[in-house]
Amino acid sequence: MTGASRGLGRALAEALAAKGARVALVARERAALEDVAAGIRARGGIAHAIAGDVAQKLQAHAIAGQAQGLVGEIAIAIHNASTLGPVPLRLLLDTECEDLADVLETNLVGPFRLTKILAGAMAIRGAGLIVHVSSDAAIEPYPRWGAYGISKAAQDHLSRILAAELADTGVRVLAVDPGEMDTAMHAAAMPEADRASLQRPADVAATLVAMIESNAPSGARLVAPSWSGS
């Protein structure tokens, strides 16, 4: 679980651990991550904190190696870490090229590197699930959400192509759109939003767990607010 120190990642890690999953938590800030891991352990779960930045090329094998050293073969990889780029959000023509590249590195290339490491092991054993956390910004061309929206649209397509290439291997690939939530990221992007009207990450996490446990076909893009189970 990347981006596991706060928001949806934290809630989803806690929900999966409560179901008995042994979770390897990945985020850049060790202290925040240790708190999440300690909380899970205090409730009888199994969690390990792995400090790492998915945007850093040379950290990909270190993250995957620590995770598999600590919890064994990975059954479910959840790419949840992502960045908006600089906030307040800017028009695309005001977005520095380097900022777009950085957003793609965190939201697209980093998850791709980890998937390259983990999906092969899943395919050779004939089972595994890769989950990409998406956004409606991948579908709707919201002004000022350019860098983020582009990265999420590309990640959705990565998810579909990977699903096509891994058809019949036992490895499934899903994109899940959690909808708008009351998170630090949402506050950074839309500080004027009415927080009371937003979904809580813990509630969304429960829906995402149901999606993960469902038999949704590989390559599917599942939307939490309209999810009715399958």
**Which residues are identified as catalytic?**
134, 148, 152
49 within 8 A of 33, measured Cβ to Cβ: yes
Distances (CA, A) of 214 to 75, 143, 168, 209: 15, 34, 18, 9
What are the φ and ψ backbone dihedral angles of 81, each rounded to 5 degrees? -60, 130
For position 41 contacting other proteins by CB under 8 A, the verdict is: no
The nearest distance, CB 31 to other proteins, in angstroms, is 13
For position 38 contacting other proteins by CB under 8 A, the verdict is: no
For position 2 contacting other proteins by CB under 8 A, the verdict is: no
Distances (CA, A) of 131 to 30, 60, 115, 197: 23, 17, 10, 27
Restricted to residues 150-179, the positions that interact with other proteins (CB under 8 A) are: 165, 168-169
For position 58 contacting other proteins by CB under 8 A, the verdict is: yes
List the one residue from 32, 70, 187, 209 that touches other proteins (CB under 8 A). 70
Alpha carbons within 13 angstroms on the beta-carbon side of residue 72 total 4
For position 123 contacting other proteins by CB under 8 A, the verdict is: yes
For position 225 contacting other proteins by CB under 8 A, the verdict is: no
Residue for token digits 């995402």? 208
For position 75 contacting other proteins by CB under 8 A, the verdict is: no
Q: Please choose, from the candidates 124, 122, 125, the residue with its C-alpha nearest in 3D space to the C-alpha of residue 172.
A: 122
Site of interaction with other proteins (CB under 8 A): 48-51, 58, 60-62, 64-66, 68-70, 72-74, 117, 120-121, 123-126, 165, 168-169
